[in-house]
Structure 1
């Protein structure tokens, strides 16, 4: 339990690190108009997709006002980060909550965040995977059929084996169902290596991450081989 603002700031940074994110305290970032001193800068880097959050820590005895939410919104807009998070264990005035609604600024406590952040992080990772699948699809169809066969990206007609096209289609189907948020759901045509029923976003992430990583590795080998010939 934090005893002062500095402890609260470090506690917040430690929490984000526990989720596998990078968190730096007392960071200065450059915006379009000016520089901003940030309590905690949270970043995520996965397969070339970067996400950045600004976290402001208010270790106060009274609720945070609307003015502080508006100030954070300005910093988020000026710096171009993905999200701003305003942390306070003493609550927020009604105007502050209204000012944050339907924006990319979230007002919450560290206690509440610990309950909701895991799904937020997983959802963020799934959006990254969605983008990765789209990139893989473009890369896959840019490779000739002969090269795809030669490098194990598709089987010969009538034969079984790894198929990049099937992997892309399957990933998109699972993601589409997951983004609807209706669990559990069942997917047909999965091998015994993967579940046929998905009951959570976490299971979706844990299933898709190795699938798309394997496809990316195969595409990289194929593309490099083509360049070397």
Structure 2
């Protein structure tokens, strides 16, 4: 079993952090997306979308998409549970995971793709769209800060996969200078610092 990844990518980090929380050791294979190694035909057989990460199972089959990979390991290694412990918690974890993907990861990702030039050799970029996406991510800081004023984690006092995904998306914002100001977003910064102090955050 192995995972194909580009370690600096936020969705790869969220899988690494998840596996570290589970105590699961994994073989990682570096795929240089900067050089376009993920666009090669043999890689597209693993994932037609040519994204990272991709999990390769021992039977040769593949699972792409970071949350799908996390769900696989949650089923195989249910302790500690990171997708929720009862019906309500599972629903809230799913809700915050989707909020994180739509409001943070998508917008930070679009800001990165359209303003840094990292992918300008293989896609048409729209800097104005990238800048607007960055502004939308920053607007979401206020939503998170207000929520975290009364909650230790995204789902009350329960640390979950939703926190992992949101943290990795938020931290990736550093690549495009999207960082929460401690004076303006003290609760969000407190949450981020607490999560980054976990051993899994540096996995």
Larger strand proportion of the pair: 1
Same fold (TM over 0.5): no
Higher relative contact order (CA 8 A, sep 6+): 2
Q: TM-score, normalised by structure 1?
A: 0.26
Q: TM-score, normalised by structure 2?
A: 0.29
Larger helix proportion of the pair: 2
